[in-house]
């Protein structure tokens, strides 16, 4: 049985490789995020029409557009959890302007390095990227106006600790907008352990009811679901883990993988 630490190390290793592989793609002329294994980017939404979009920062790893629902204002201090190459940080920066500040936290050194290079190219002086884990963020309490995150908390084994940290760093009256993957029904055990499925945000997801109750149980109020969409994993991926009978049972079950964008406030 995998421990929390072994899961985090596996996720860190997978995303480090993604950061390095996509850098190689940019330098050799191949197709960026499209070079990733299919399981990683089947959930991603289109960022290209949003202000602040930076192609080099978009690795196609998200499952929503949390900044669209985050009610970010000019001058806000925004925190992006699992900031990767900086995609949501740069979108948020286009909203907060020069008077605001955006911080990205990621546990993968290779992603932090890539994000910092992107920020330096853009000449931004009010964005920063910090190496750290979401369950113990290097961010002071009561300092953040808005938290955003895109398809990252499902990778964290201890989601209660993650939401407690979000509560800690938010100012009173602050809020979050998080896109994430949740489940309805039971995931086939054969899909729960493969590294690709976990780092691709499927195997680490929990039941929607448990996810939402974790948020309210942490003390957040005014919770709402701003967006839901069902995720369909192609047979080309599932057949790597399930035999034909299991695949048929999967397709005929009530099981669903759902991308949600959820909003809540700290009192």
Q: What does the pLDDT look like over 36-78, one tens digit per residue?
A: 444 445 567 788 888 998 888 888 788 899 999 999 999 999 9
Q: Residue 267, Cα to own-chain centre: how many angstroms?
A: 24
How do residues 148-178 score in pLDDT, each as one tens digit?
A: 999 999 888 899 999 999 999 999 999 999 9
For 91-126, write each residue's pLDDT tens digit. 999 999 999 999 999 999 999 999 999 999 999 999
Q: Is the pLDDT of residue 90 over 90?
A: yes
Give, as one character, the DSSP assignment of residue 36: S
Q: Which of 112-116, 134-138, 244-248 has the lowest mean pLDDT?
A: 244-248
The residue segments making up the domain with residue 141 are 4-265
Start-to-end CA distance of the chain, whole Å, equals 38
Question: What CATH number did the domain enclosing 239 receive?
Answer: 3.40.50.150
Is the pLDDT confidence value at 3 over 80?
no
In the prediction, which pLDDT does 8 show?
67
Place of tokens 């049972």: 249
Model pTM score? 0.86
Classify 29 in phi/psi space as left (phi over 0), alpha (psi -120 to 50) or beta.
Answer: left
Q: How many domains does the chain have?
A: 1
Cα-Cα-Cα-Cα torsion 265, 262, 135, 6, nearest 10 degrees, comes to: 170
- In this prediction, residue 218 carries a pLDDT of 98
> Where does 152-220 show beta strands of DSSP type E?
170-184
Q: Across 3-59, where does the E strand assignment appear?
A: none
| pLDDT surpasses 90 at 134 | yes
| Mean pLDDT of all residues in 134-158 | 94
* Burial state string for 121-133 with b = 16 or more CB within 10 A and e = fewer than 16: ebebeebbbeeeb
Pairing of strands 144-150, 127-131: unpaired
Structure tokens at 154: 């499902």
């Amino acid at each position: 049985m995998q421990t929390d630490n072994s899961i985090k190390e596996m996720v860190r290793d997978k995303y480090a490789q993604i950061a390095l592989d996509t850098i190689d793609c940019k330098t050799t002329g191949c197709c960026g995020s499209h070079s990733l294994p299919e399981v990683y980017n089947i959930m991603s939404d289109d960022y290209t029409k949003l202000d602040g979009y930076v192609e080099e920062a978009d690795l196609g790893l998200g499952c929503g557009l949390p900044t669209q629902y985050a009610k970010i204002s000019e001058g806000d201090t925004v925190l992006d959890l699992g900031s990767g190459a900086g995609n949501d940080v740069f979108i948020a920066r286009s909203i907060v302007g020069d008077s605001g500040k955006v911080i990205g936290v990621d546990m993968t050194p290779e992603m932090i390095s890539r994000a910092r290079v992107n920020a330096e190219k853009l000449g931004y002086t009010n964005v920063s990227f910090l190496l750290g884990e979401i369950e113990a963020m290097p961010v002071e309490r009561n300092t953040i106006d808005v938290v955003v995150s895109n398809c990252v908390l499902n990778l964290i084994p201890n989601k209660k600790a993650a939401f407690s940290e979000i509560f800690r760093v938010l100012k009173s009256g602050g809020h979050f907008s998080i896109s994430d993957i949740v489940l309805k029904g039971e995931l086939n055990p054969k899909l729960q352990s493969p590294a690709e499925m976990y780092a691709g945000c499927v195997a680490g997801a929990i039941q929607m009811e448990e996810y939402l109750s974790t948020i309210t149980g942490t003390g957040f109020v005014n919770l709402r679901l701003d967006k839901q969409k069902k995720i369909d994993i192609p047979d080309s991926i599932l057949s790597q883990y399930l035999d034909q009978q299991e695949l048929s049972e999967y397709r005929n079950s009530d099981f669903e993988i759902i991308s949600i964008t959820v909003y809540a406030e700290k009192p």
